[in-house]
Every structure is written in C-alpha cells, then in structure tokens.
C-alpha cells in the first residue's frame, strides 16, 4: 500500500470516506486521484484531501494500480464500457456498487482482475464493515491492496462465494438504516409515553451506543447480554414478549430477505 496509486471513479459519499480513511492511514495525496462529472464534488474532495481531480475518467486512471468504481449501480455499465479502451491488464478494479456482478463487469471491462465489495456508511467514521470477493484473476498482492483499501475505513471480511455479497448487502450494507429505523421508532414511542422529544432521543441514542459497545466488547453473545437485562416477570420481559408475539424475528428475516432478493434482482436488471 506504501506505493500503491489509486484512482476513484465517482467522488461521492462512499469514495470520500475511503479517501479520508486512506489519507488518515498515511497514504500520500499524490497517490490518490478522483474523477467525477460534478464540478462541486471535485472541488470539495480536492479541497478536503489535497488530491488531484479529473472530469475525465480515462485521464484519472492513467498509471494507477487500483481503480475504485464508486458510482451508482445504474451508471456502472456506461462507466465500465467507456473505461475499457484505457485499461492496462494489470490494473485492479475494485467495485463498491451494490448488485453489480463480477461477470457483468468482466463483460463490460474485459478480463480485468476484479474485487467486488460491499461497504457501509459508518465508513464515514472509519467504523464500517465490508464484505469482499475476488475473481480468479486477482493476485495475492492485489487482494492485499483491496483489503488495505477497505480496512482503512473499518473491518474487511473476505467471502469465498460472490453470491454471499447479496447477504452482506442485506445485513451490513443496508443495515445502518435498520438501526436508524429502530432509533426513530424508540424515540417516537418514548415521546408517546410522555418524555420530551429531545430527552427520548438522547435516551435512545445513548442506549444504542452503550448496547453496541457492550455487544462488541463482551465475551458472551447478544442472547446472553439480553438475558442479563431481562429480570423474571420484569419490564424487559414484557417488552421482549410483546416483540416476539408480534413476530419480531420473522419480520427481521423477511426484511433482510427482501434486501438480498433486491440485490440479486439488481444484478439481473442492471447486468449485461
């Protein structure tokens, strides 16, 4: 990673998080470039990180080792097809686009080494988690480069089947939104129970933070931590029983199933 040169195609939220993580990890600004059609986006990322920016994708990738595709899934086909004539065979392509398969990218780009990833938005705070999948053309050194890139913004976990990325998308890619939904619902319920909104929000947020810290640092699992809060015939038991009587686990399973299904469906709709 010390000398790796990286170009970001698309300089939006996720790219900016990754660039910030890499800079914090000690990568020189001169090792990083980004291209984006938005003049404001280019100016922002250049000002924040001191990197060189481009309006032309082909210009941005000249001479780099790693090309990170950080555009919306709907833009991937056009972006890849336009890059194809400018690619060097040894350049690693890392995609963070949801629901775009390596087969589609190889179809658009040619037989390029590809690492497909699914990060999540806590990457903004370097608290993210990503799933990574590498095609057979990816060398051990390139696997290392991809892992270093994603681990600059959190934890990076390798997968041995590409299909597992649909599940990763369902669990952690979209996952922050589920926790935000629970935060919204608990805050609203607290308010309905008579608390000022601001108090309900603070109680909810600090509880979420405290519970996440406990779950991460504890040597027992979440089920045991839950049991420890749940006094027999007490208040937690009343709430948990109500959740479960209303099908909480089935609801979560169904929601994550819908996200994974949508990820696979996007691959069908946006591939080829």
Ligand X SMILES: O=C(O)[C@@H]1CCC=N1
Q: What order of strands is seen across the sheet that includes strand 128-134?
A: 52-54, 32-35, 6-9, 66-69, 92-95, 114-118, 128-134, 154-158
Task: Pick between residue 113 and residue 173 the one whose CB is nearest to ligand X.
Answer: 173
Does 51 bind ligand NAI (CB under 6 A)? Our answer is: no
Does 12 bind ligand NAI (CB under 6 A)? Our answer is: yes
Query: 35, 142, 169, 204: which one contacts ligand X (CB under 6 A)?
Result: 169
Does 175 bind ligand NAI (CB under 6 A)? Our answer is: no
Binding partner at 4 among ligand X, ligand NAI, none, C-beta below 5 to 8 Å by kind? none
What is the C-alpha to C-alpha distance for residues 32 and 20, in angstroms, rounded to an integer? 11
Helix 39-49 to helix 13-24 angle (10° resolution) is 10
Contact predicate 108/77, CB 8 Å: yes
Binding partner at 148 among ligand X, ligand NAI, none, C-beta below 5 to 8 Å by kind? none
Residue with tokens 């390596």: 102
H or E, element range at 54: strand 52-54
Task: Pick between residue 97 and residue 132 the one whose CB is nearest to ligand NAI.
Answer: 97
Query: 11, 53, 71, 98: which one contacts ligand X (CB under 6 A)?
Result: 98
Tokens of 37: 């059609």
Question: CB 55 → ligand X: shortest distance, Å?
Answer: 25
Question: CB 136 → ligand NAI: shortest distance, Å?
Answer: 23
Binding residues for NADPH, by number, are 57
Per CB under 6 A, residues contacting ligand X are 98, 169, 173-174
């Amino acid at each position: 990673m010390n000398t790796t040169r990286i170009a970001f195609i698309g300089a939006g939220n996720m790219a900016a998080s990754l660039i910030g993580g890499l800079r914090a990890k000690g990568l020189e600004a001169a090792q990083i470039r980004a291209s984006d059609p938005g003049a404001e986006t280019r100016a922002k990322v250049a000002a924040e990180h001191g990197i060189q920016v481009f309006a032309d994708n082909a210009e941005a990738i000249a001479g780099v080792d790693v090309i990170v595709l950080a555009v919306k899934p709907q833009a991937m086909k056009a972006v890849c097809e336009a890059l194809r004539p400018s690619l060097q065979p040894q350049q690693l392509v890392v995609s963070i686009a949801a629901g775009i398969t390596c087969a589609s990218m190889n179809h658009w780009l040619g037989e390029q080494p590809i690492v497909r990833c699914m990060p999540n938005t806590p990457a903004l705070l370097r608290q993210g988690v990503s799933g990574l999948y590498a095609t057979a053309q990816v060398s051990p050194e390139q696997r290392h480069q991809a892992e270093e890139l994603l681990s600059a913004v959190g934890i990076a976990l390798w997968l041995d089947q590409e299909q597992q990325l649909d599940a990763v998308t369902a669990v952690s890619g979209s996952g922050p939104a589920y926790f935000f939904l629970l935060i919204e619902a608990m805050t609203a319920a607290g308010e309905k129970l008579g608390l000022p909104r601001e108090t309900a929000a603070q109680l909810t947020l600090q509880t979420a933070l405290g519970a996440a810290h406990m779950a991460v640092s504890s040597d027992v699992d979440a089920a045991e931590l839950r049991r420890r809060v749940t006094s027999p015939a007490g208040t937690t038991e009343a709430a948990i029983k109500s959740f479960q009587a209303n099908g909480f686990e089935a609801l979560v399973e169904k929601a994550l199933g819908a996200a994974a299904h949508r990820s696979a469906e996007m691959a069908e709709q946006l591939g080829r």
